[in-house]
Amino acid sequence: MQAWNLHMLPRLLCLTLLALAPLAAAPGLDLDTVLAKMDSAAATFESMQATITRLKYMALLDEKTTESGEIFVRKDRDGAVRMVINFKEPYVYHVALGGNKLEIYRPRITTVEEYDIAKHRDTFQKAFLLGFGTTVDYLRKNYEIRLSGEEDVAGQKTVKLELIPKSAEVLKQVPQFDLWVSTETWQAVQQKPYQLGGEDYRIFTYTDVTLNPKLASKAFKLDIPKKAKRSFPQR
């Protein structure tokens, strides 16, 4: 019996390799294919509504905190972006981006922080929208791109891209940006901007995503009472 096994071994090995060959030869997703699919999806992107979860990690305290809520995004015909995030857990507060202004409204203390983003409006808009309607031209112009592999994120099949900013100014703020893109919609499922000079990070995850819903302009206006105290941290 032992001799029979030795005699059959080369044939069995050959059959095994032939059986595995289609799996080994199956073409995976390369970077050019991924970017082409993202570019095609970007051409049809107009708006988005989703559940957003933000995980914040502070290395000094070895502490993770999580916030969740809803996000609404709309790209107008002129290319301008409007965005509102209504955080609900663990505390209610609202973030609105529109025109040259970023506002953060905290109902618990009835205060509004207002930031003038005129000088960096395009950077802000592209950062918030990275992975949603992002064109290949923009990605190649602004980042060194590496395809890291395929992962399951929030119950979805994704490909992970590692983006290194080419701009020295942006690099000082965000040395790397990881982006997980759905292999079904080719829009973002998760984003991870790194922070310079430390191990702190934030991860934004998007679930229950609805693409191109009809969003009225009032969805992007914060309901701020007249008595709210307004501050301007930049001044």
Domain extent at residue 164: 31-231
Residue type, 50: A
- Asked whether residue 49 is assigned to any structural domain, the reply reads yes
The per-residue pLDDT for 117 is: 84
The per-residue pLDDT for 5 is: 42
- Asked whether residue 188 is assigned to any structural domain, the reply reads yes
Distance CA 96, CA 82 (A): 8
The per-residue pLDDT for 9 is: 34
- Asked whether residue 198 is assigned to any structural domain, the reply reads yes
The token pair at 180 is 């997980």
pLDDT digits (tens, 9 = 90+) for 211-232: 999 999 888 999 999 999 999 9
- Asked whether residue 13 is assigned to any structural domain, the reply reads no
Q: What is the pTM of this model?
A: 0.81
- Asked whether residue 9 is assigned to any structural domain, the reply reads no
Distance CA 203, CA 196 (A): 15
The per-residue pLDDT for 186 is: 95
The per-residue pLDDT for 14 is: 38
- Asked whether residue 6 is assigned to any structural domain, the reply reads no
- Asked whether residue 44 is assigned to any structural domain, the reply reads yes
Instruction: State how many domains the chain has.
Output: 1
The per-residue pLDDT for 12 is: 35
Judge contact between 222 and 94, C-beta under 8 A: yes
pLDDT digits (tens, 9 = 90+) for 118-135: 877 777 666 767 888 888
Residues linked to residue 102 through DSSP beta bridges, in sequence order: 97, 115
CA dist 191 → 11, 12, 38, 106 (Å): 49, 47, 15, 24
The per-residue pLDDT for 124 is: 67
Nearest 10 degrees: Cα torsion 75, 72, 113, 79: 0
The per-residue pLDDT for 200 is: 84
- Asked whether residue 213 is assigned to any structural domain, the reply reads yes
What CATH number does the domain containing 174 carry?
2.50.20.10
Instruction: Kindly give the confidence (pLDDT) of every residue in the chain, 235 residues in length, as a single tens digit, with 9 standing for 90 and above.
Output: 434 343 433 443 333 333 333 333 234 689 999 999 999 999 999 999 999 999 999 888 899 999 999 999 998 877 778 999 999 999 999 999 988 889 999 999 999 999 998 877 777 666 767 888 888 998 999 999 999 999 999 999 999 999 999 988 888 888 899 999 999 999 999 999 888 777 888 999 999 999 999 999 888 999 999 999 999 987 7
CA dist 94 → 77, 103, 205 (Å): 25, 8, 17
